[in-house]
Amino acid sequence: MNRRLLLVILGVLVLAVYGLLAVLVVGLPGGGPTSKAAFTAREAYGMAQREAQAWQGDAQLVSATASWSDLGSEQLLREDASWGFTFLSPQARQVRIVSVDREKAQGVQTINATAKTQAVDAAAWQVDSPQVLGLFLDHGGRDFLAEHPGATVTLRLGREEGGQRLVWQAFGIYSADRSTMTLQVDATSGEVTGPAR
């Protein structure tokens, strides 16, 4: 067999192997450009912030919340949720609730702020919702969901109770037998800081 033919055959084999790998990657759950990535809190926040600042130019983030129900642990990482954001207008002393899904953001309620209502430092928010869900699953959430099909998982971003630090709180709740699981994550570093309080 001459050298040129051997090189052509090797080239065809290399292309075939790469083609097979591409098909496998795209076909796997969570792989390739056709798979749907979950709508994250950071993506939703951009939409919510525009809506809130149209309401009051000084609107500042207070908290963000989303919940997922009846999902297995791997579905949890891919499934969209609607996000609820709370904003404070210090000048108006009012709070605005903004609901956000992949298509739109809309204000749903405005109420008077209380003395306890405090905005957070949104610049300290470095850890997005997919990372928090991953930490929740890795720290017992996967077992919790396997043992409690139909449980609800809720994420809440906000000020640590009794403190200034910005944290994520992840809750697993199964109402049928009142089982719960909680996890608290530093929203700046991603460090697991303990159970939510």
Supply 116's token pair: 């306890």
Tell me the domain boundaries of the chain: 1-35, 41-194
User: Helix, strand, or coil here: 115?
Assistant: coil
pLDDT of 22-75, one tens digit each? 333 333 344 444 345 788 999 999 999 999 999 999 999 999 999 999 887 778
pTM of the predicted model, to two decimals? 0.78
In this predicted structure, what is the pLDDT of residue 164?
84
**Does residue 81 contact residue 71 with C-beta atoms inside 8 Å?**
no
In this predicted structure, what is the pLDDT of residue 15?
38
pLDDT of 68-124, one tens digit each? 998 877 787 888 899 999 999 999 999 999 999 999 999 999 999 998 999 999 999
Q: Which of these, 132, 118, 133, 141, lies nearest to 189 by C-alpha position? A: 132
pLDDT of 65-75, one tens digit each? 999 998 877 78
Element (H, E) at 192: strand 192-194
In this predicted structure, what is the pLDDT of residue 7?
43
Element (H, E) at 22: helix 3-27
